[in-house]
Amino acid sequence: MDDLRIEKIELFKVPPRWLFLKITTKSGIIGWGEPVVEGKAATVEACVHELSQYLIGRSANDIEDIWQTLYGGGFYRGGPILMSAISGIDQALWDIKGKHLGVPVYDLLGGAVRKKMKMYCWIGGDHPEVVLEQAREKVEQGYKAVKMNATGAFAWIDSLQKIKTVADNIRLLREEFGDTLDIGLDFHGRIHKGMVKRLIDELAPYNPMFIEEPVLSENKEAFDHIYPYTSIPIATGERMFSRWDFKELLHSGTVDIIQPDLSHAGGISEVRRIAAMAEAYDVALAPHCPLGPVALASCLHVDFNSINAVIQESSLGIHYNKGFDLLDYMDNPEIFDVKDGYIELLKKPGLGVEINEEKLREGQKIGHNWANPVWRNEDGSFAEW
């Protein structure tokens, strides 16, 4: 298909911490992707430029062959930078293919298995009043589920006083909303193995929807001890980058929900494969997505097509998005309207996101150099963020 030959690749590093990819074909069809690692946008940008030698002149229709070439053609495989670059390229190619054929991406994957997708978003803040205020806001906006960090900086073994304060925020939410609000708790890999069970003891009475990243993903063997200790569903996967990273975890039987990121774990092609692997192990899918509109749309297309998808994260109003938010670069923000806790099936061809390129180019002039904070414990030692 000569009309789908890739002629141009452009990248836009824009606030708050995003990187957009635009692929243009000979026929003028444009595909959008988000190839980024938060805090490493320039590094991923360089990687996309390096991979462009495998893209220019190729038909955008050849999604799978391009994926395999990008993954294996450089000999060294995997990791956050390469897989995030591949992710954004893959998203853009699916966007082009859907637009060319006039159908949404989930139709190309085999069709939708649901008519709407349950959503959650972040609430944050160190003070209980802020958590309550933000939760009320989200409920008014139509959400029936939220997520928050369980803790701040935590030492390898921390004080009893600190342990006792961890449950305060979720306790207040339960007192305010009862069981009508689902509440996910993100440990964010901040907790070391020796503290996880003590924290679960404090949290269990308030019935969180799940515990996310109870330990860092590189400490997967700790799940063998954590999983049988609690009936709270265990979730992880945002820092895992391919089906090979998920393979051992799924086989161990120590996770209930996997959370691959559509901008980190190989894009639509790879996450759909990961979702199918998880289904075979009776494990649910809840893609990680603290990023922009193209990443969210990519997640939703996989969700719509995956029977084990249970809930979808959105970055709308997230505390990282200072000055700019999820909808700011879009001409059709209404596609992400949340009604009674759900986003309805996307109907437009491709990913369905209409990017306002003028605003994107304005944002590119501002750019960003976002980096996550570096935390320290009271004794000055490094703490996981």
Q: Is 206 left (phi over 0), alpha (psi -120 to 50) or beta?
A: alpha
* Cβ 144 vs Cβ 118: under 8 Å: yes
Catalytic one among 100, 264, 288, 301? 288
CA-to-CA distance for 309 and 113, rounded, in angstroms? 10
Closest C-alpha among 282, 303, 174, 169 to residue 233: 282
100 classed as catalytic = no
Output phi, psi for 207, to 5 deg: 50, 65
CA 34 to CA 248: how far, in whole Å?
28
Alpha-carbon radius of gyration of the chain: 20
Q: Which of 359, 214, 212 is nearest to 290 (CA)?
A: 212
Cβ–Cβ < 8 Å for 50, 70: no
- Supply 239's token pair: 């820092």
Q: In this structure, which amino acid lies at residue 171?
A: R
In whole angstroms, what is the distance from residue 17 CA to residue 367 CA? Answer: 8
Q: How far are the Cα atoms of 58, 76, 81, 91, 315 from residue 62, in angstroms, in the given order?
A: 8, 22, 22, 13, 31
Catalytic residue among 100, 188, 264, 301: 188
Indicate if 301 belongs to the active site: no
| Whole-Å CA distances, 222 to 19, 20, 215 | 34, 36, 7
Task: Name the residues annotated as catalytic.
Answer: 188, 288
